Structure 1
């Protein structure tokens, strides 16, 4: 297997910054190693709400890999200009071959060249060797630059032996994963573990802007006000509807479907709790809830 060239300077900076926020998560690395031993190829995805430490975990894994049989290629989709399939394919393929000029002009038109390289790498791997392509912030990818129905970043549907993808992303609904894969896969959900939240005010501002999109509707603003003052155990969609009907001025024509649509659009910023056969919603972290309550007041 070819040795990947020097890591991109922007990625080096990100890994250094993210590693400083690393918190002890031995269970994550145990789960990763278990997957690598159990499966001879596959996708492992770390899912967590904003600030849950996904990026720090991936940066730590990429930085401190002392296993000579494992090669890791790191990519961060959060960096400006790096969230398109074209940039991803060009970068990763340049890491997999010795000379950049060997990459054909149409290599970024789908996954054909990328998949070809992965198969060639696989054929060269010794029995214990593995190639891991680690992609941070898969949810930030811009899918509009790809044909409809293709996998994010043209990630392969099938993987040859010894090839793995280690992904991080925010919570998502399965039907909106934008990935169709037929190879071993596993998800590690960080919401099932009590981890420190690393978000700060600048991150909160960014999340708020993402939630607003092109602007808050009247009902979205009302729902946000309810969520910002909700109890720790969360609040159901029906209760949210009751409370926004009581606001001044009330939104008289709102119904439960309007509420659920807004909540679905904010899926990655919410936690869902099952209480007495009822789904209750709360903002992803109490720090963000308190920050929003202060802003809205």
Structure 2
């Protein structure tokens, strides 16, 4: 079995596993379909904290729309920028080789870099029929290894421009706009799951993975102090000034810690203040047990 076939089988297993956590989210599919109807190309991004159901939602969408080409960056070995165009170009050339879009055999260099992906997408666009979009879905865009590609390039070398009829549906954890890792000039829309109060599916295994990522190569004294305040803080969260006052730590050092943990935090604007809290009460309680700090509310 070649690498592409192995990946496809692996992705199918992931889809079937993820769909088990699917909850009724028809409004999301309606929003996606409206985007496809309103724009002739573009990027649609589902953003949600860990365990919010992003992967299950995307799995359900792919099951219901079997022509969608699916990629999961959380699969081992698939979180590098080189693997994505290699896999996607192979899938596209298979369809083109089968005559689905009226294009003949593509040479072996189809798996080389992002330039060929853009070329393939344009060729496919030229042969798409009305109401026959090409949709590529990427689960866990944020899982990419940032060291796997040159600085300043789009995550996974995603195209800056898209031809007509070509769409990408992405899922990723919360991110700062200036740190999106994408420079695109095509219609785009973000759907933030935090606005809908969906059930969180995280378990202790997931908490352990999040905790490992938060620690990185080790937590500084400042990071431990900030974490203690987040765990023991009030339900509505704590402000930057409150953390500084409690721990007498430089505000810029605290902000750096909060930025590094951005995907694991909720931000709530109250008056003129931004208040920070850990993304879910169960994760806060679990972390409290790991470092011996009691949570500030039940």
TM-score under structure 2 normalisation?
0.90
Give the whole-Å Cα distance in 2 for the aligned partners of 1:123 and 1:5.
27
**Which of 211, 214, 217 is equivalent to 1:214?**
217
Q: Displacement, 1:49?
A: 0.5
Equivalent position SS for 2:185:
coil
1:94 matches 2:90: yes
1:58 maps to: 58
Give the whole-Å Cα distance in 2 for the aligned partners of 1:48 and 1:151.
21
Give the whole-Å Cα distance in 1 for the aligned partners of 2:33 and 2:11.
23
Give the whole-Å Cα distance in 2 for the aligned partners of 1:58 and 1:103.
32
Q: Displacement, 1:150?
A: 1.0
Query: Which range moves more in the overlay, 91-100 or 275-284?
Result: 91-100
Cα contact 2:90–2:111 (8 A) shared by 1: no
1:10 maps to: 10
Deviation per CA, 1:158-217, whole angstroms, max 9, x where unpaired? 111100000000001111111000010000011111100000000000000100011000
Give the whole-Å Cα distance in 2 for the aligned partners of 1:39 and 1:26.
20
Matches within 5 A, 1:281-292: 281-292=276-287
Give the whole-Å Cα distance in 1 for the aligned partners of 2:210 and 2:263.
10
Matches within 5 A, 1:1-297: 8-65=8-65, 71-98=67-94, 102-105=106-109, 107-109=111-113, 111-245=114-248, 254-297=249-292
Cα contact 1:130–1:162 (8 A) shared by 2: yes
Cα contact 1:93–1:103 (8 A) shared by 2: no
Cα contact 2:48–2:54 (8 A) shared by 1: yes
Over the residues paired in the alignment, what is the CA RMSD in angstroms? 1.9
Cα contact 1:77–1:137 (8 A) shared by 2: yes
Which is richer in helix? 2
Q: Displacement, 1:279?
A: 0.5
Query: Which range moves more in the overlay, 225-234 or 97-106?
Result: 97-106
TM-score under structure 1 normalisation?
0.91
How many residue pairs get aligned? The number is 281
Deviation per CA, 1:44-92, whole angstroms, max 9, x where unpaired? 00001100000010001001127xxxx3000000011001121111111
Structure 1 segments unaligned to the other structure (5+ residues): 246-253
Give the whole-Å Cα distance in 2 for the aligned partners of 1:35 and 1:221.
43
Cα contact 1:85–1:108 (8 A) shared by 2: no
Give the whole-Å Cα distance in 2 for the aligned partners of 1:267 and 1:5.
36
Give the whole-Å Cα distance in 1 for the aligned partners of 2:176 and 2:160.
19
